[in-house]
Amino acid sequence: MTTSLSYYDQVGGAPAVRGVVDLFYVRVLDDADVSPYFTGIDLARLKRHMVVLLCSVLGGPEPYEGRDLAEAHHGLGITAAHYAKVGEILVSVLREAGVGDDVLRHVVLTLDSVKPSIVAEPVGTAD
């Protein structure tokens, strides 16, 4: 009987996820369009949360028990374009780390599913 590895195990577990998150934030903070969202943020704390969140998304052993994504991003005014750009950076870093297409698809589907909780509602729309 064969058992398939979780996405978490396929990518190399927590050490690999930490490496991905470190490179992800290097790239995000180097991007003039999205870096302003991170001004004044405790980056070490944010990285820890992101590692736990990504490990959880990938089926790791610890569930994410951080703040609700909508609450954590409320009031930041994140646009759909900026959200897409950050997602593209994450996928690019995962791809560079050698993550397989099935894992990438799972991450993209997860990003799509949580997008409404993170992207700000359009302002000034008519009722």
- Per-residue pLDDT at 121: 63
Q: How far apart are CA 64 and CA 45, in angstroms?
A: 14
The DSSP string of the chain is ---PPPHHHHHTHHHHHHHHHHHHHHHHHT-TTTGGGGTT--HHHHHHHHHHHHHHHTT-SSPP-S--HHHHHTTS---HHHHHHHHHHHHHHHHHTT--HHHHHHHHHHHHHHHHHHSPPPSS---
Average pLDDT over residues 21-31: 98
How far apart are alpha carbons 79 and 34 in whole angstroms? 10
With bands split at pLDDT 50, 70 and 90, how would you rate the model's confidence at 125? very low
Tell which CATH classification among 1.10.490.10, 3.40.630.30, 3.60.15.10, 1.10.287.3610 matches the domain 7-118: 1.10.490.10
Query: Structure pTM?
Result: 0.89
Q: For all residues of the chain together, what is the average pLDDT?
A: 91
pLDDT tens digits along 27-85? 999 999 999 999 999 999 999 999 999 999 999 998 888 889 999 999 899 999 999 99
